[in-house]
Structure 1
Amino acid sequence: MNALCRLIAYFTPPIRLANALQPLLLLGLRLFLASVFFKSGLTKIADWDTTLTLFTEEYHVPLLPPAVAAVMATCGELGLSSLLVAGLAGRFAATGLFILNTVAVISYPGLTEITRSYHYYWGTELMALMLFGPGLVSLDAWITHRCRTRR
């Protein structure tokens, strides 16, 4: 038992360091993912006619007319990624982008294995944000702190 206690004591400082760095990691994830999805949204609004053509002919979004799917995808990419940067409604934003990412994988048969792996990677990162939240460096954390101190 004494050896186990020494082992735990040995690993306590690195664990504390990892816990201290978690907010920065979550911030980095949020900024990276927001960049990916925001750039995609900007690409869509840069040439709306091409976007509508792609949603009509290439992307086969289930249950939605192509124009509606194009508007929803564009608004989702731009709006939810902006929320993600701020860390405002962070879990909601991550969940929305996760759904959007999943629909993209399902509805676009032209994805190669490499591009599909990117989507899986982004989906895994979004799932981490869904589970852990946006972290301490976020508006969600600031609002929660303000509400608790006012009670």
Structure 2
Amino acid sequence: MTEMIRPDALLPAPLRRAHAAFVTLAEALQPLAQLAARLFVAQVFFLAGLTKLRDWETTLLLFTEEYRVPLLSPAVAAVLGTAGEVLLPVLLVLGLGGRVAALGLSVVNVVAVLSVPEMPEPAFMLHVFWGSLLAGLVLWGPGRWSVDGGGRASARAQD
């Protein structure tokens, strides 16, 4: 069997050291990036949920007349959507059940896109951005600076 040569082994020593320093810095910044993503996305959804709660009659009217949520009655969709927008961001900020919270908000995000048939392009792109951040949190978790990851050594450090 032939042994694989690591691509960075072909680099000159100064570039290998620079690459290693960059990787070390990037890995050190991961918890900050994950926290920033959690805070940003959570704020967007939480504020949307609070807006719905402030004027419940309008929320019900929007779910009845404007939003076309598939498979659910407008009243059930309004309650579930609003509950998701208010509760899941709190869990996401704390990083408590962070992957599940991010997955739940991903569902809310996708349903929002599907339920507004004529969404303007800039609004759609915001949903894509939020979905991308949420996908990262689902795949890589909420990070060390979370209830889920607090005090745990990274898997890389344990190897």
**TM-score w.r.t. structure 2 length?**
0.87
**Partner SS state of residue 89, structure 2:** helix
Q: Does 1:22 align with 2:30?
A: yes
Match of 2:156 in 1: none
Match of 1:129 in 2: 137
Q: Does 1:76 align with 2:81?
A: no
- Once residues 10 and 105 of structure 2 are traced to their aligned partners in structure 1, the CA distance between those partners, rounded to angstroms, is 46
- Once residues 97 and 79 of structure 1 are traced to their aligned partners in structure 2, the CA distance between those partners, rounded to angstroms, is 10
Q: Does 1:86 align with 2:99?
A: no
**Partner SS state of residue 140, structure 1:** coil
Q: Displaced runs of 4+ in structure 1, greater than 4 A?
A: none
CA shift for structure 1 position 5: 5.2
**TM-score w.r.t. structure 1 length?**
0.91
- 1:58-116 CA deviation, whole Å, 9 max, x = no partner? 00100100000000000001110000010000000000000110010011113101101
Please tell me whether the aligned partners of residues 9 and 16 of structure 2 are also in contact (alpha carbons under 8 angstroms): no
Match of 2:39 in 1: 31
Q: Percent identity?
A: 52
Q: Does 1:13 align with 2:34?
A: no
Letter aligned with residue 92 of structure 2? L
- Once residues 31 and 9 of structure 2 are traced to their aligned partners in structure 1, the CA distance between those partners, rounded to angstroms, is 33
For this pair of structures, how many residues does the alignment match?
Answer: 145
Structure 1, 107-116 or 16-25: larger mean CA deviation = 107-116
- Once residues 69 and 77 of structure 2 are traced to their aligned partners in structure 1, the CA distance between those partners, rounded to angstroms, is 7
CA shift for structure 1 position 14: 1.5
* Higher helix residue share: 1
Structure 1 residues 15 and 2: CA distance shift in structure 2, 3 A: closer
Q: Does 1:4 align with 2:11?
A: yes
Aligned-CA RMSD value: 1.6
**Partner SS state of residue 40, structure 1:** helix
- Once residues 137 and 8 of structure 1 are traced to their aligned partners in structure 2, the CA distance between those partners, rounded to angstroms, is 30
Letter aligned with residue 19 of structure 2? F
- Once residues 136 and 35 of structure 1 are traced to their aligned partners in structure 2, the CA distance between those partners, rounded to angstroms, is 20
Please tell me whether the aligned partners of residues 60 and 75 of structure 2 are also in contact (alpha carbons under 8 angstroms): yes
Letter aligned with residue 83 of structure 2? C
Match of 2:127 in 1: 119
| 5+ residue gaps, structure 2 | 1-7, 154-159
